[in-house]
Amino acid sequence: MLLQATGISKSYGIQSVLDGISLQVNEKERVGLVGVNGAGKSTFLQILAGEMSFDSGQIHKAKETTIGYLAQNSGLQSDKTIHEEMLAVFAPLIEAEAELRRMEASIADPRVAEDSKRYEELLERYAVRSDWFKDHGGYEMNTRIRSVLHGMGFGEFAPETPISTLSGGQKTRLALARILLQAPDLLMLDEPTNHLDIETLTWLEDYLRGYAGGILVVSHDRYFLDRLVTAIVEIERHESRRYTGNYTRYMELKAAEYEIRMKQFEKQQDEISRMEDFVQRNIVRASTTKRAQSRRKALDKMERIDRPMGDMKKANFSFEPDFMSGKEVLQVRQVSVSFNEGQPLFKNASFELRRGETAALIGPNGIGKSTLLQCMIGSREPSLGSVNWGTKVKIAYYDQEQTHLNPRNTVLEELWSEYPMLEEARIRTILGNFLFSGEDVQKRIAALSGGEKARVSLSKLMLRGANMLILDEPTNHLDLVSREVLEAALMDFEGTLLFISHDRYFLNKMAERILELHPSGIDQYLGNYDDYVDKKQELKEIANEAAELALATTSKNTNNEAAAQDKGAISTFEADKQTKREERNRQRRIAELEKNISELEEKVAFIENEMTKPEIYQDYLALQGYEADLKDKKASLSGFFSEWEILADE
């Protein structure tokens, strides 16, 4: 056990933030902490890190356990260069290295060698210190620094770059890089995926999956949680509950749990209704009074099951176009953007959109994705190329920086100033759908959180009645529940959608086409994010195979014997290529089967556990249902195992 928190409570005045929260993180365990915005996740991490007091409860950790805590958007403030700051992490190793150099100088000194006893002691100290330096990674310091900086997107930065010259997002990424280099026993990370592009996100996931210590992470990135964590702790209504598995498994378990509790509640309510009806009908009849009194006593003693609470109140909205656009919605032709007539940010960007299409624009940070959107909406002129809109296209643009919001307005004024013809009651109803109720509508925009500003922007977007939505990072600042509501609204949208996103879960759910922006233009891929990744991997393998084939064919000689040998080499190459392709397919299917087996085993264990509960095994009909479900899942499990054994033995 690395860390254990039991019954943690925290209040601000009469307002409770956390009420009896418990959590445990063991060695090498990866735990995701989830909950809606305002649930108290960041507060809880601050308490665990010792940066905030708490009202009641206990926190235990082993004395030797080191904890590294990275707060949300906590940029690195330093007057050092990038390399100096990263090197400072290894101060004990640097000191040991300097000590070793001094010892080496003494060993080489003939005067020291004259004293044999002193010389032997020096050699022994040197051997011990040298072993310590090696065991603690002294020879890998610079390699680790280069690897982590490259992975976190600083590969092109000069080591002597002053940290003070970096942007806020870059400072946040550098703070994350430093804590990774520190390699504490327990990493506690609050929204570490903010400000990361997809390439950096993928690197971070792979790094954390191989991390030697434990991890406790707050994140709204569902793809990240699915790939990384082995348990989810949910904070809801000030309380915590633990679920085994990744985010998708947590959602399945939570839904199944709610369904079972609701059935138990409804069954008890039916029983109560029957008993109360019997009492009312028979309490005054002499022949049945005793039985009625007995039922009344049973009702009084009955332990009532509370109605299970569904999801907390969530935003509720939809995007409804005022009218339909023409079939040809957008043509972007050879667009290039340069700043101050210098090197182009990107050039030759071209693509088209037809009515009803959904496309995602992706690419690394700084490549110019938001700039390209600005060219489309007319807030920036392209250096070269053209943007042409079709007929009857009505555009609504979502700006990730929320620059279109007036910080001096109240929430109510922000909507009313743009839609003055609407009645106040209508505006308040709309804002209520976006979780602004009562006095919330009188809050100033400047005082809102990122998530609240996002909801205001979405409410204005909804009222626009557009048939073309252009969204720049729409899931930023939204909690998991709000992201799912947005996805549902966009899935029902009957217009055309173009969006930028680093949210790979969102990309998988929404995108029908991927537009990858790079310095020389746009590459297009049909399908969602996973399809894009598969296609990129396939293209990479084809390129490698082509390079191998080219290498094989360049060795051809002009004589017949050499030519025959070359044909044989090419034939062998083709056979090898087919074998490699079949092996890749086999490995993919094995991985898929192992995932299915793991999920089914968890479901079987869950059902078997439920069947041990008295309210289930004493209910014949309910038990029958569970047994049938268990039989089906075990049959599926057996089929998966059989296929896995065949493939594993090949």
CA distance 63 to 65: 6
Q: How far is CA 191 from the centre of its chain?
A: 9
What is the 3-state secondary structure of 98-116?
HHHHHHHHHHCCHHHHCCH
Mean pLDDT of 315-331: 88
Most confident of 78-82, 176-180, 539-543, 610-614: 176-180
Q: With 60 as the cut, is the pLDDT of residue 387 above it?
A: yes
User: DSSP strand E in 96-213: where?
Assistant: 186-190
What's the pLDDT score for residue 613?
77
What's the pLDDT score for residue 485?
86
**pTM confidence score:** 0.72
Structure letter (DSSP) for residue 497 = E
CA distance 493 to 396: 13
Task: Quickly state the pLDDT bin for 315 (edges 50, 70, 90).
Answer: low
What's the pLDDT score for residue 358?
94
Amino acid at the residue 570? I
What's the pLDDT score for residue 285?
67
CA distance 503 to 201: 10
Per DSSP, helices labelled H in 36-115 are 41-48, 82-88, 91-107, 110-113
Residues 6+ positions from 447 with CB-CB distance below 8 Å: none
CA distance 34 to 249: 13
Q: With 60 as the cut, is the pLDDT of residue 568 above it?
A: no
Q: With 60 as the cut, is the pLDDT of residue 289 above it?
A: yes
What's the pLDDT score for residue 632?
84
* Cα within 13 Å of Cα(289), Cβ side: 4
Residue among 53, 50, 59 at smallest CA distance from 25:
59
What's the pLDDT score for residue 31?
93
CA distance 250 to 242: 9
Helix (H, G, I), strand (E, B) or coil at 400: coil
For residue 599, how many other CB atoms are within 10 A of its CB?
Answer: 18
What's the pLDDT score for residue 12?
84
Place of tokens 């392709």: 581
Mean pLDDT of 41-56: 89
Q: What backbone phi and psi angles, to 5 degrees, belong to 298?
A: -65, -40
What's the pLDDT score for residue 426?
86
Structure letter (DSSP) for residue 246 = -
Note every long-range contact of 623-631, with CB atoms under 8 Å and residues 24 or more positions apart, other chains counting: 630/604
Q: With 80 as the cut, is the pLDDT of residue 283 above it?
A: no
Q: What backbone phi and psi angles, to 5 degrees, belong to 514?
A: -110, 130
Looking only at Cα atoms, what is the longest distance across the chain?
117
> Are 76 and 178 within 8 A, CB to CB?
yes
Q: Which two tokens stand for residue 10?
A: 């925290």
What's the pLDDT score for residue 149?
92
The total number of residues written for the chain in this structure: 650
Angle at 437 (CA atoms; ends 431, 443), nearest 5 degrees: 85
Q: Which two tokens stand for residue 502?
A: 């680093």
What is the per-residue pLDDT across 348-383, written as a single tens digit (0 to 9) for each?
999 999 999 999 999 988 899 999 999 999 988 999
Mean pLDDT of 207-214: 90
Mean pLDDT of 248-268: 85
Q: What backbone phi and psi angles, to 5 degrees, belong to 247?
A: -65, -45
| DSSP one-letter string for 353-397 | EETT-EEEEE--TTSSHHHHHHHHHTSS--SEEEEEE-TT--EEE
Q: With 70 as the cut, is the pLDDT of residue 286 above it?
A: no
Place of tokens 């990774």: 180
Residue among 67, 63, 28, 64 at smallest CA distance from 213:
28
> Are 392 and 323 within 8 A, CB to CB?
yes
CA distance 59 to 61: 7
CA distance 17 to 561: 82
Mean pLDDT of 535-550: 84
| Residue 106 burial class via C-beta count within 10 angstroms: exposed 0-12, middle 13-18, buried 19 and up | middle
Q: Which two tokens stand for residue 261?
A: 């509790």
Secondary element (H or E) of residue 233: strand 231-236
Higher pLDDT, 21 or 114: 21
Structure letter (DSSP) for residue 22 = E
What is the per-residue pLDDT across 437-453, written as a single tens digit (0 to 9) for each?
888 888 898 888 888 88
Structure letter (DSSP) for residue 326 = P
What's the pLDDT score for residue 36?
81
> What does the mean pLDDT of the chain come to?
85
Most confident of 57-61, 191-195, 548-552, 628-632: 57-61
Higher pLDDT, 235 or 567: 235
